[in-house]
């Protein structure tokens, strides 16, 4: 399972929920759960780059556990009926 010093949970129907850091943010993993089919979009905080799009079916889930660095933080958008948990380094 994912091990990280912090996590941020983003609820359903979120638009550009920010995870900001004064320095680079290390993301260790992402878990998406959904009661209805939809998509979670993980982007750079400033919206300049889409890092990941996770599509999940009804009553489905997806796990992405490949670490990466987000130099400018993240912006997360989720569909209705979908939640997303980001496991990350400390936010300073």
pLDDT in tens, 23-64: 788 999 999 999 999 999 999 888 889 999 999 999 999 999
Share of the chain above pLDDT 90, in %: 66
pTM, two decimal places:
0.87
Q: Which two tokens stand for residue 81?
A: 């009926």
Terminal alpha carbon distance of the chain: 25
Phi, psi of 29 (to 5 degrees): 180, 165
Q: Is the pLDDT of residue 16 over 80?
A: yes
């Amino acid at each position: 399972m994912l091990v990280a010093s912090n996590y941020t949970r983003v609820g359903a129907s979120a638009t550009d929920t920010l995870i900001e850091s004064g320095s680079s943010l290390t993301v260790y993993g992402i878990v998406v759960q959904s009661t209805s089919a939809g998509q979670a979009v993980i982007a750079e905080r400033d919206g300049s780059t889409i890092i990941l799009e996770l599509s999940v079916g009804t009553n489905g889930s997806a796990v992405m556990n490949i670490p990466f660095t987000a130099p400018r933080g993240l912006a997360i958008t989720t569909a209705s009926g979908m939640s997303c948990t980001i496991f990350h380094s400390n936010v300073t």
